[in-house]
Amino acid sequence: MPVAPDVTHPRLSVVVPLFNEEENVALLVAAVRDALDGDPSWELVLVDDGSTDRTAAVAEAAGSDPRVRTVRLARNYGQTLAMQAGFDQARGAVVVSMDGDLQNDPRDIPRLVATLDSGYDLVAGYRERRQDKVLTRKIPSWVANRIILTLTGVRVRDNGCSLKAYRRATLERMHLYSDMHRFLPAFAAATAGARITEIPVQHHARRFGKSKYGLSRIFKLLADLLTLMMLAWFRERPLALFGLPALLALGLGVGFLGWSAVAMQRFRLEVANAYVLPAAALLWILLACYLLMLGLVGEVALRRARELEPELLPIAVERPA
Amino acid sequence: MSESRPDVTVIVPVVERPVPLVALYREFSEPLKQAGRTYEFIFAAYPWYRHLTDALGELSAQGEPVRLIEVMQSVGETALIKLAAYSARGAVLVTLPAYLQTEASALPALLARVEAGADLAVVWRWPRRDSLINRLQNRMLHLLVGGITGGRLHDVACGVRAMRSEVVQEVPLYGEFARFLPLLAQREGFDVEEVQSPVHPAAMRGRVYGPGVYLRRLIDVVGLLFLLKFTEKPLRFFGLIGSLLSGLGALLLAVLFIQRLTGQPLADRPILLLAVLLMVLGIQAVALGLIGEMIVHLTASQRRRYRVRSAPRRPARPEAA
């Protein structure tokens, strides 16, 4: 006898952010339903990210199936926040995210979940035979992946692939903002200590609609990565973050002072030596003081935040000693 | 309270160059009365405006629906509006500056627009028959604000607007940002519409303010720019400034160093100071951006960064361009 689907406590939540995908929504829902046919306990969370076409209407029409839910955002917030909205709504112990443009294949979901169950917190899909334009999509993506790998050291070859599986506990420890979805595995590793692996997934060419990304902007990526590295290394000790550069600046200041001393010895108190070098030295020392004070501000902010909301304990497993 | 809720609460924050309040009340309540609407007026004022607010007593003695909230410290227009909105009983809120901006006939028109489904309706003072100086100033403000926001509203500076009470509750308002309420509401995904109404005859005369007022407006607009573009990603703003500054400084240093190698002495060149100063400034900017990012990250779990749309009030239609 078939078991009635448990709609309120699904084990698996599939989260799909949608922006102007009216042709794709119905196909997407059908594809997910087919792919998860054997799974008794799943839900599909569609997030309409302020679409200007009929996406929301089509998605809500699909809601006749109690396993399909739609969240409508008030405006277009971008993919990162749309995903976060979906994660906030998801009720499953395992959450899978994917794109709404049918380029990902829902039939990969069971494999992602199985891999997650074998002992990981995040499983990223990578597109083995990517069906996209080389110049505008593949090359920028390759550059971005290289930069992310070099700076974060997190080994994921395809950060741009949305098809990923997460444990609920991991998602609860990370709060996405800005464009953090662009390097979500590294973000998860930095802020939630996630154990990460990757498996190949299918990739189809776009059938309807237009692609939403253009050439990614390297500067924004670099700024976001700098933030990420700060979070990874100095999240709990802002004073160290600023203290180290402060020491460096102090060293430069002392160096300049010494240099001016030597110069004055050798050339006998020339006006320029007496002013330019010591003044430059003072600037470096000023910077050191300023950075130290900023570090203290960081400590204040950290303490305030922890007072307002104690952080979730990190994920840990007990193993036989 | 036994009396039924009025259709509309008109909130009058008494801050800038207020006109006699009784005359204001009579002028602006008249069209509401004629349109057959029930209303209440809430005046929010400081104790030092008693010479104006004392006269309101005679209105309420005559049974007019007038309330007065006296605020004991100077808190700014935003806080006055929020305070009054908190105790408002009307289904729709109207904000009305305590000086004359637009003709009184605008109120029923605004009210009708909100009741027809808009979240917020704001007066667009058109046609402008007032002095060239006023129009020129208004034009300048719009050039500035339009450059930042894309300029989808024609009259940002008009304080006469009607809204659902949830708009005041859900749009994050503080400081001087009540001035930009329609813009911020639009950004939160609320449906904002404009209603044309002529300039009030009393506001025709050209008005020139002191330099301090223009300076404050400019600061407000810069604050708005930062609020709209960078509050979620401060490092993109400070990082850009910082990398430009320290890049320039490093370039200067490199030039000086090469010249030193070719035999020109370095220690007596004041431009060395400029190079070091630029680098120090740049590093400071980046450090500030990092502190900003840290604060954003630390508070990420406590903030609601997106708004979910409630059940649709009217059929979906394409967003106004």
Choose among B189, B236, B272: nearest Cβ to A50.
B189
Instruction: Categorize the per-residue pLDDT at A270 as very low, low, confident or very high, splitting at 50, 70 and 90.
Output: low
The predicted pLDDT at position B107 comes to 94
A38 vs chain B: nearest CA distance in angstroms?
A: 32
Q: Does B298 touch chain A (CB under 8 A)?
A: yes
Q: Does A238 touch chain B (CB under 8 A)?
A: yes
Choose among B235, B296, B302: nearest Cβ to A226.
B235
Instruction: Categorize the per-residue pLDDT at A160 as very low, low, confident or very high, splitting at 50, 70 and 90.
Output: confident
The predicted pLDDT at position A45 comes to 95
Q: Does A22 touch chain B (CB under 8 A)?
A: no
Under an 8 A CB cutoff, do B287 and A272 touch? no
A250-265 mean pLDDT:
88
Under an 8 A CB cutoff, do B299 and A305 touch? yes
A158-171 mean pLDDT:
93
Q: Does B187 touch chain A (CB under 8 A)?
A: yes
**Could you give the CA distance from residue A154 to residue A209 in angstroms, rounded to a whole number?**
33
Structure-block tokens of residue B291: 């502190």
Instruction: Categorize the per-residue pLDDT at B267 as very low, low, confident or very high, splitting at 50, 70 and 90.
Output: low
Choose among B189, B267, B290: nearest Cβ to A277.
B267
Is the pLDDT at B2 greater than 50? The verdict is no
pLDDT, tens digit, for every residue of B145-200? 877 766 678 888 789 999 999 999 888 888 888 888 999 898 888 989 999 998 88
Choose among A72, A82, A227: nearest Cβ to B235.
A227
Prediction pTM value: 0.82
Q: Which residues of A touch B280 (CB under 8 A)?
A: 249, 283-284, 286-287
B305-311 mean pLDDT:
79
Annotate chain A with three-state secondary structure: CCCCCCCCCCCEEEEEEECCCHHHHHHHHHHHHHHCCCCCCEEEEEEECCCCCCHHHHHHHHHHCCCEEEEEECCCCCHHHHHHHHHHHCCCCEEEECCCCCCCCHHHHHHHHHHHHCCCCEEEEEECCCCCCHHHHHHHHHHHHHHHHHHHCCCCCCCCCCCEEEEHHHHHCCCCCCCHHHHHHHHHHHHHCCCEEEEEECCCCCCCCCCCCCCCCHHHHHHHHHHHHHHHHHCCCHHHHHHHHHHHHHHHHHHHHHHHHHHHHHHCCCHHHHHHHHHHHHHHHHHHHHHHHHHHHHHHHHHHHHHHCCCCCCCCCCCCC
B305-319 mean pLDDT:
60
Is the pLDDT at A275 greater than 50? The verdict is yes
**Could you give the CA distance from residue A91 to residue A201 in angstroms, rounded to a whole number?**
25
Instruction: Categorize the per-residue pLDDT at A214 as very low, low, confident or very high, splitting at 50, 70 and 90.
Output: very low
